[in-house]
């Protein structure tokens, strides 16, 4: 990675001293975290640790009260809205699978493609072979080729999760934020999802929030444990899970 | 509109609808003009005007369906855009009266003479020319919708809050247009029209032509709506309707889409109002009444929102019922019937008439042998262009 002078950091994502409070509740408290380009990071932490709020901050849904959030070393994300941040190349999969239920699997992917998103561009859009091929490739990756003409609302829970990951692939962002990708999945599906994310990580920077420890272990990446809006521990899964404070937080005081 | 947009937008239902409208648009005026009066197949002149009114309402219903059915924007003030288009046409018709008014003033319409205006207000200039008035029919509602939408959508006002402020908008305009010093005829509005483009508005030939033009307006509006909803933009609109924030995270600028479709819809409503005024012969502030806008939403709900054809049919069916019931002994109970109809449709036919019919047809298609449907699916390997 060549570091240019204008870049404040070589990190893909850089959070420093971030604070957010909602009506006096400190959801994020002096949170600092960096993600190197090409890295995959797993984020764990009990409920209410601030994992989803952190994603809201990175994607522009929530504005932090203070702190720095830099993307790709140069872009201050706190000044931009969701659309602009998505255009810059940050994609997000939600905790609850959010697909466009009344449209087909194919159309969901078509909508996600990172092509011209302007009113004029979509009004006069004509399909191209390149677009169709990309969609076919994504369909194959997420194993939904046979379901391409089915309504997304009729898919099983696991398939919806995969479709949403597929939408991320179609969007082809530089940074993927994946919130609880295996919630409600069978063991086989969980294993396949881990494989899929590892594959995606070969070409993308990924941040995964997940409760499922088997899954996190299978990913085999650096783990950050959040608690009460701040970083409690960081390291390999073994280091983190043997950390006394982490155990204390998870098992209760 | 490019050719591929046209072919993509015409499915079977759309084609049948367009042919039916075109046939009625030609047959009704011809039967009125060519057949002898009193003949069984002759459509009386009053019916031509009445059905012309329904067709204008159908255009208004289409404009509401475009934003409500496809983008989830429930406007309870769309009557305002309809009325603005109507006023622009009314102003042209007033200027055409010339010296034939009661006061015989060549420049000032009667109500201005009556209210002691010494000269024509600046915003009345240009309305003696048809092309200018026609432009204003699109521009006045379009500009209002653009400004209103720019403020509302940028501030992310959605759902019931947006509905309430659209209602407030039309009510504010109602009050403004009621004022005599606002310069649009106050309480009485504009009436006593004589000519349109040199033809007598009362003449049977003109009425027939206006009916044809209204049908043409419906056809063009329908084609525009179909072209919009069957393009990729239509998919984005549905995405916004179903999961607005998700669309933002995919990089769609939701407010731009809403603004585009809202302004387009307002222009269509304006055209509907402009076609309506010469056929009913009057435009006054009551057109801004919130009740009118709500009624128009009911037409769409009854016909089936998000179907376009249903919206147009709903407008015609409900207005036909209104004419039927308000002319008999049941007249005092019409509003109760309308209310009951809305409740019944919401409870029993949430998809409306056409929506329910489509769902029923879809269901019976799925029951067919698996082999047939599998073969059908194989045919759709290209992106769903023909949908």
pLDDT band at B378 (very low <50, low <70, confident <90, very high): very low
Please give the residue range of the domain that contains residue B267: 3-378
The answer as to whether B384 is a domain residue is no
Share of chain B above pLDDT 90, in %: 79
Cα–chain-centroid distance for residue B346? 22
In three-state secondary structure terms, A151 is: strand
Q: Model confidence over B147-189: pLDDT tens digits?
A: 999 999 999 999 999 999 999 999 999 999 999 999 999 999 9
Whether the CB of A135 is below 8 Å from some CB of chain B: the reply is yes
With tokens 């059905």, the residue in question is B51
Please give the residue range of the domain that contains residue A155: 96-172
Whether the CB of A73 is below 8 Å from some CB of chain B: the reply is no
Residue of A nearest to B1 (CA): A124
Q: What is the mean pLDDT of residues B70-90?
A: 97
Q: What is the mean pLDDT of residues B130-149?
A: 98
Q: State the CB neighbour count (10 A cutoff) for residue A201.
A: 18
Contacts of A117 in chain B (CB under 8 A): 250-253
In this prediction, residue B218 carries a pLDDT of: 98
Q: Model confidence over B215-240: pLDDT tens digits?
A: 999 999 999 999 999 999 999 999 99
How many residues are given for chain B?
387
Whether the CB of B4 is below 8 Å from some CB of chain A: the reply is yes
Whether the CB of B382 is below 8 Å from some CB of chain A: the reply is yes
Contacts of A101 in chain B (CB under 8 A): 242
- Mutation target to probe the A interface, by most A beta carbons within 10 A, among B156, B224, B227, B249 is B249
The answer as to whether B387 is a domain residue is no
In this prediction, residue B367 carries a pLDDT of: 74
Show Cβ contacts of residue A61 under 8 Å, excluding neighbours closer than 6 positions: A82, B245
In this prediction, residue B10 carries a pLDDT of: 84
pLDDT band at B5 (very low <50, low <70, confident <90, very high): confident
In this prediction, residue A1 carries a pLDDT of: 46
Chain-chain contact of A100 with B243 (C-beta, under 8 angstroms): yes
What is the DSSP annotation of B213-250? HHHHHHHHHHHHHHHHHTSHHHHHHHHHHH-HHHHHHT
Please give the torsion angle defined by the CA atoms of residues B339, B340, B341 and B346, in that order, rounded to the nearest 10 degrees. 90
Chain-chain contact of B251 with A124 (C-beta, under 8 angstroms): no
Closest CB from A100, A119, A124 relative to B242:
A100
What is the number of H-type helices and E-type strands within chain B?
16, 4
Whether the CB of B5 is below 8 Å from some CB of chain A: the reply is yes
Q: State the CB neighbour count (10 A cutoff) for residue A185.
A: 21
**Do A47 and A103 have their domain in common?**
no
Q: Does position B380 have pLDDT exceeding 50, yes or no? A: no
Question: Could you tell me the end-to-end alpha-carbon distance of chain B, in angstroms, rounded to an integer?
Answer: 18
In this prediction, residue A8 carries a pLDDT of: 67
Give dist(CA B133, CA A104) in Å, integer.
44
**Do A80 and A62 have their domain in common?**
yes
The answer as to whether B385 is a domain residue is no
Whether the CB of B235 is below 8 Å from some CB of chain A: the reply is yes
Q: Model confidence over B87-125: pLDDT tens digits?
A: 999 999 999 999 999 998 999 999 999 999 999 999 999
CATH number where A212 lies: 3.40.50.300
The answer as to whether A197 is a domain residue is no
Whether the CB of A131 is below 8 Å from some CB of chain B: the reply is yes
Within the 98-127 window of chain A, which residues sit less than 8 Å (CB to CB) from chain B?
Answer: 98-104, 106-107, 110-112, 114, 117-119, 122-127
Q: Model confidence over B50-70: pLDDT tens digits?
A: 999 999 999 999 999 999 999
Whether the CB of B245 is below 8 Å from some CB of chain A: the reply is yes
In this prediction, residue B261 carries a pLDDT of: 98
In this prediction, residue B200 carries a pLDDT of: 94
Q: Does position B311 have pLDDT exceeding 50, yes or no? A: yes
Given a cut of 70, the residues of chain A with pLDDT beneath it are 1-8, 252-253
**Do A163 and A179 have their domain in common?**
no
Number of domains in chain A: 2
The percent of chain A in helix, strand and coil, each rounded to the nearest 5, is: 40, 25, 35
**Do A104 and A85 have their domain in common?**
no
Of B304, B258, B228, B236, nearest to B61 by C-alpha is B304
**Do A83 and A178 have their domain in common?**
yes
Q: Model confidence over B325-349: pLDDT tens digits?
A: 998 888 888 889 989 998 999 899 9
Alpha-carbon gap: A124 to the closest alpha carbon of chain B (Å): 7
Question: Could you tell me the end-to-end alpha-carbon distance of chain A, in angstroms, rounded to an integer?
Answer: 43
Alpha-carbon gap: A130 to the closest alpha carbon of chain B (Å): 12
**Do A107 and A213 have their domain in common?**
no
In this prediction, residue B381 carries a pLDDT of: 37
Number of domains in chain B: 1
Closest CB from A101, A122, A167 relative to B232:
A122
Whether the CB of B8 is below 8 Å from some CB of chain A: the reply is no
Q: What is the pTM of this model?
A: 0.91
Whether the CB of A87 is below 8 Å from some CB of chain B: the reply is yes
- φ and ψ at residue A80, rounded to 5 degrees: -110, 160
Whether the CB of A86 is below 8 Å from some CB of chain B: the reply is yes
Assembly ipTM: 0.89
Residue of B nearest to A147 (CA): B377
Whether the CB of A154 is below 8 Å from some CB of chain B: the reply is no
Show Cβ contacts of residue B94 under 8 Å, excluding neighbours closer than 6 positions: B109, B127, B190, B193
**Do A119 and A230 have their domain in common?**
no
pLDDT band at B283 (very low <50, low <70, confident <90, very high): very high
Closest CB from A112, A119, A131 relative to B257:
A119
The residue with greater pLDDT, B82 or B332, is B82
In this prediction, residue B375 carries a pLDDT of: 41
**Do A163 and A183 have their domain in common?**
no
In this prediction, residue A80 carries a pLDDT of: 94
The answer as to whether A101 is a domain residue is yes
Closest CB from A82, A101, A104 relative to B242:
A101
In this prediction, residue B130 carries a pLDDT of: 96
The answer as to whether B58 is a domain residue is yes
**Do A122 and A218 have their domain in common?**
no
The answer as to whether A1 is a domain residue is no
In this prediction, residue B373 carries a pLDDT of: 43
Whether the CB of B344 is below 8 Å from some CB of chain A: the reply is no
In this prediction, residue A5 carries a pLDDT of: 52
**Do A168 and A178 have their domain in common?**
no
The answer as to whether A42 is a domain residue is yes
Alpha-carbon gap: A92 to the closest alpha carbon of chain B (Å): 7
């Amino acid at each position: 990675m060549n570091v240019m002078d204008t870049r404040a950091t070589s990190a893909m994502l850089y959070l420093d001293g971030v604070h957010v409070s909602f009506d006096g509740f400190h959801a994020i408290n002096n949170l600092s975290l960096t993600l190197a380009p090409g890295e995959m990071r797993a984020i764990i932490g009990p409920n209410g640790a601030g994992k989803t709020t952190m994603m809201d901050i990175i994607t522009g849904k929530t504005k932090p009260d203070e702190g720095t959030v830099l993307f790709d070393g140069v872009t201050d994300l706190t000044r931009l809205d969701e659309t602009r941040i998505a255009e810059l190349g940050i994609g997000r999969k939600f905790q609850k699978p959010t697909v466009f239920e009344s449209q087909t699997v194919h159309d969901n992917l078509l909508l996600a493609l990172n092509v011209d998103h302007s009113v004029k561009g979509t009004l006069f859009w004509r399909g191209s072979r390149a677009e169709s091929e990309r969609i076919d490739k994504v369909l194959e990756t997420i194993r939904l080729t046979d379901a391409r003409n089915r309504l997304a609302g009729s898919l099983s829970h696991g398939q919806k999760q995969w479709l949403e990951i597929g939408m991320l692939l179609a969007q082809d962002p530089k940074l993927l934020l994946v919130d609880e990708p295996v919630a409600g999945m069978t063991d086989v599906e969980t294993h396949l999802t881990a494989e899929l994310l590892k594959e995606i990580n070969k070409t993308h920077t990924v941040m995964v929030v997940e409760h499922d420890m088997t899954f996190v272990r299978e990913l085999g990446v650096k783990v950050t444990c959040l608690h009460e809006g701040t970083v409690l521990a960081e390291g390999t899964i073994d280091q983190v899970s043997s950390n006394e404070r982490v155990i204390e937080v998870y098992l209760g005081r | 509109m490019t050719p591929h947009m046209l072919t993509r937008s015409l499915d079977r239902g759309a084609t049948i609808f367009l042919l039916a409208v075109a046939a009625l648009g030609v047959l009704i005026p011809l039967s009125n003009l060519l057949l002898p009066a009193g003949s069984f197949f002759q459509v009386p002149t009053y019916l031509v005007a009445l059905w012309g009114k329904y067709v204008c309402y159908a255009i208004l219903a289409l404009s509401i369906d475009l934003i409500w059915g496809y983008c989830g924007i429930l406007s309870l003030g769309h009557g305002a855009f309809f009325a603005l288009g109507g006023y622009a046409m009314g102003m042209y018709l007033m200027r055409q009266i010339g010296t034939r008014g009661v006061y015989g003033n060549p420049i000032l319409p009667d109500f201005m003479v009556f209210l002691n205006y010494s000269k024509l207000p600046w915003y009345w200039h240009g309305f003696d020319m048809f092309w200018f008035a026609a432009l204003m029919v699109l521009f006045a509602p379009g500009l209002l919708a653009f400004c209103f939408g720019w403020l509302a959508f940028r501030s992310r006002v959605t759902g019931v809050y947006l509905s309430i402020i659209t209602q407030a908008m039309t009510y504010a305009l109602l009050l403004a247009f009621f004022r005599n010093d606002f310069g649009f005829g106050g309480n009485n509005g504009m009436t006593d029209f004589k000519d349109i483009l040199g033809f007598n508005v009362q003449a049977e030939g003109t009425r027939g032509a206006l009916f044809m033009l209204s049908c043409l307006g419906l056809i063009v509006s329908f084609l525009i709506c179909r072209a919009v909803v069957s393009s990729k933009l239509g998919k984005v609109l549905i995405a916004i309707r179903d999961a607005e924030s998700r669309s933002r995270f995919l990089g769609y600028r939701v407010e731009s889409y809403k603004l585009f479709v809202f302004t387009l819809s307002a222009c269509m409503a304006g055209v509907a109002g402009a076609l309506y005024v010469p056929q009913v012969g009057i435009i006054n502030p009551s057109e801004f009444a919130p009740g009118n806008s709500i009624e128009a939403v009911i037409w769409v709900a009854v016909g089936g929102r998000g179907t376009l054809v249903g919206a147009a049919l709903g407008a015609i069916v409900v207005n036909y019922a209104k004419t039927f019931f308000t002319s008999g002994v049941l007249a005092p109970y019409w509003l109760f019937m309308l209310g009951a109809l809305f409740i019944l449709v919401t409870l029993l036919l949430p998809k409306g008439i056409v929506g329910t019919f489509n769902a029923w047809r879809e269901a019976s298609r799925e029951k067919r042998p698996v082999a047939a449907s599998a073969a059908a699916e194989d045919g759709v390997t290209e992106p769903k262009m023909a949908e």
